[in-house]
Structure 1
Amino acid sequence: MIQLQNLHKEYRAGKHSIPALTGINMNIEKGEIFGVIGHSGAGKSTLIRCINLLERPTSGKVIVDGVDLTSLDARSLQEQRRYMGMIFQHFNLLSSATVAENVAFPLELAKRPKVEIRRKVNELLALVGLEAHQDKYPAQLSGGQKQRVGIARALANDPKVLLCDEATSALDPQTTNSILTLLLDINKKLHITIVLITHEMHVIRSICDRVGVIDGGKIVEMGKVADVFLKPQHSTTREFIEQVADFADLQEAVVREKSAEQRTIVRITFLGEQTYQPILFQTMKETDVPFSILQGTISRMKDTPYGQLVAELEGDESRVENAVKMLRLHGLDVEVIEWAG
């Protein structure tokens, strides 16, 4: 659905050029939710604005549904943008227009018939749960309600792509979860491709299929959320994982147990249905290796359950090695943090 090919973006500051994006290559599949995560200033907002050419790349191609946007004239580009909705961090609503009028605005610009506009507005307000608020003004709405209006407005022209520019960062955690649930529901009902940028790993973990990690204007890691989340390769990725992983005191646990003899500390990752199976207990019983759990968490990534445990295994090295081997044969990912001795 979306292809970014060797994308570069530079800004001019007098005689100097400041690189914002460098060599971005990315393929986003039709119907998936793709997340881009990065720190402030990493280039993520520039990246998403390059997709609909609100920011024109210095070089490279942006291809959406087979159309090279970078080759279009202004009129043709404007026509293609109708098929790409966008929602913003600060909502960007018309303060003097009602909820219904805000949603109707892009349809009026497209010169749709009034009967069609009214039908579409009612349909979208029902989709985002704001039927009872159609005559209110933005100042009368909560932050979450304003974002729902923004989502409805972005969907007005039946876009193929929905771009979300920090859509939840101005919201409290409970409201953020409700907006993420709504976006997931929209993705499933309308089969729309969603690209969202964020600095919150919770957002990526909750609804995304794949993720790209951006740092210094470059994509430093990309893949399925489960792979990136459970086996981060880049230091920036690991920083974001720490936002949601309950292992802040891991180093303390390692230091505390390091002096003990005949003990090994491992991190065990469960994914899918194995998360709820007693694999650890059964394996340790079969191999006669006593264990204790130092830390652990069970959660979900979109629709997939996962768990991570930090456990202390007792016994000599050969017995522990056998236990680790058995765990891996059961399909678990086992990382040895500290071997005995």
Structure 2
Amino acid sequence: MIQLRHLHKSYQVQGKTIPALTGIDLSIEQGEIYGIIGHSGAGKSTLIRCINLLERPTSGEVIVDGVDLTKLDEGKLQEKRRAIGMIFQHFNLLSSSTVGENVAFPLKLAKRSKAEIDKKVNELLKLVGLEAHKDKYPSQLSGGQKQRVGIARALANDPKVLLCDEATSALDPQTTNSILALLLDINRKLGLTIVLITHEMHVIRSICDRVGVIDGGKIVESGNVLDVFLRPKHPTTQEFVEQVADSTELREAVEHEKASGNRTIARVTFLGEKTYQPILFQTMQETGTVFSILQGTISRMKDTPYGQLVIELEGDVAQNQKTIETLRQRGLEVEVI
């Protein structure tokens, strides 16, 4: 659906060339939710704005639905942009227009008939749960409601792609979760390809299928969210994972236990239905191993349940190693810390 090939973007600042993106290669499949995560200044906003050519790349290809947008003249580019909706961090609503008028705006630009516009606006407001707010103005809405209007407006021309530029970073946690649930629902109902950028790992973990980590204008790590989240390789990725992993407390606990004697500390990862099975308890009973839990969590990565426990095994090295091998044979991932 979307392919970025050898994408470069530089800016001229006081006579100097400042690179923002360097050699981006990215492929996003039809119907998936792809997240791009990075710190401020990493290049993520520039990257997402290159997808619809709000920022024109210095070099490289931007292929959307089989067409290289960089090769189009302005008229054909405008036509292709109608298939790419976009929502923004600060909503960008027309303050002097009602909710209904905001959603109708792109339809009027596309010269649709009044009957078509009214029908589509009503359908979209129902989809985002704002039927009762059609005649209100943005100043009368909460932040979450404003973003719902932005989503409805972005869907007005039946796009194939929805770009989300920090769409939840101006919202409180509860409202963020409701907007993420709405985006996931839209993705499933409409088969829409969604690309979102964020600096919050919680957002990636909640709804994304795959993720790319951007740092210094480069994609430094990418893959399925489960793989990247549970086995982060790049230091930037590890920083983001620590946002939701209580790593400071874990390090302190590990150091304390290591100082107290010859003990084995391991991280055990459960995926899918194994998350809810008593594999750890049964194995410890069978091997006669005494253990304690230093840290643990059970959660979901989009639709997949997972669990991670950091455990301390008491006993001799040989017995602990045998227990670890048994856990691995039973389908758990075990990493000795």
Normalising by the residue count of structure 2, what TM-score does the alignment of the two structures yield?
A: 0.99
1:74 maps to which residue?
Answer: 74
Q: Does 1:5 align with 2:10?
A: no
Instruction: Give the aligned residue type for 2:58.
Output: T
Contact 1:206–1:301 (CA under 8 A) maintained in structure 2: yes
Q: Does 1:241 align with 2:244?
A: no
1:120 maps to which residue?
Answer: 120
Between the two proteins, the alignment pairs up a number of residues equal to 337
The CA deviation string for residues 282-330 of structure 1, in whole angstroms up to 9 with x for no partner, is 1111111111101101111111111111100011111111111111111
Deviation at 1:180, TM superposition (A): 0.2
Match runs of 1:151-300 below 5 Å: 151-300=151-300
Q: What's the secondary structure of 2:243's corresponding residue?
A: helix
Distance 1:259 1:81 in 2: 60
Contact 1:246–1:297 (CA under 8 A) maintained in structure 2: no
The CA deviation string for residues 253-275 of structure 1, in whole angstroms up to 9 with x for no partner, is 11211133342111111111111
Deviation at 1:199, TM superposition (A): 0.3
Match runs of 1:28-43 below 5 Å: 28-43=28-43
Distance 1:126 1:168 in 2: 21
Greater shift, 128-137 or 260-269, is seen at 260-269
Distance 1:330 1:102 in 2: 55
Distance 1:264 1:116 in 2: 67
Distance 2:4 2:333 in 1: 33
Deviation at 1:14, TM superposition (A): 2.8
RMSD of equivalent CA atoms = 0.7
The CA deviation string for residues 234-280 of structure 1, in whole angstroms up to 9 with x for no partner, is 00001000111133311111121113334211111111111111111
Distance 1:214 1:139 in 2: 35
Q: What's the secondary structure of 1:152's corresponding residue?
A: helix
Distance 1:152 1:39 in 2: 28
Instruction: Give the aligned residue type for 2:104.
Output: A
Greater shift, 246-255 or 35-44, is seen at 246-255
Distance 1:261 1:131 in 2: 64
Contact 1:247–1:295 (CA under 8 A) maintained in structure 2: no
Distance 2:32 2:232 in 1: 21
Greater shift, 264-273 or 181-190, is seen at 264-273
Q: Does 1:49 align with 2:88?
A: no
Percentage identity across paired residues of the two chains: 77
Match runs of 1:324-335 below 5 Å: 324-335=324-335
Contact 1:246–1:296 (CA under 8 A) maintained in structure 2: no
Contact 1:32–1:209 (CA under 8 A) maintained in structure 2: yes
Deviation at 1:218, TM superposition (A): 0.3
Distance 2:18 2:147 in 1: 33
1:145 maps to which residue?
Answer: 145
Distance 1:53 1:230 in 2: 34
Contact 1:266–1:336 (CA under 8 A) maintained in structure 2: yes
Instruction: Give the aligned residue type for 2:289.
Output: V
2:320 maps to which residue?
Answer: 320
Gaps of 5+ in 2: none
Distance 1:324 1:105 in 2: 61
Q: What's the secondary structure of 1:248's corresponding residue?
A: helix
Instruction: Give the aligned residue type for 1:146.
Output: K
Q: What's the secondary structure of 1:85's corresponding residue?
A: strand
Instruction: Give the aligned residue type for 2:290.
Output: P
Instruction: Give the aligned residue type for 1:306.
Output: Y
The CA deviation string for residues 167-208 of structure 1, in whole angstroms up to 9 with x for no partner, is 000000000000000000000000000000000000000000
Q: What's the secondary structure of 2:247's corresponding residue?
A: coil
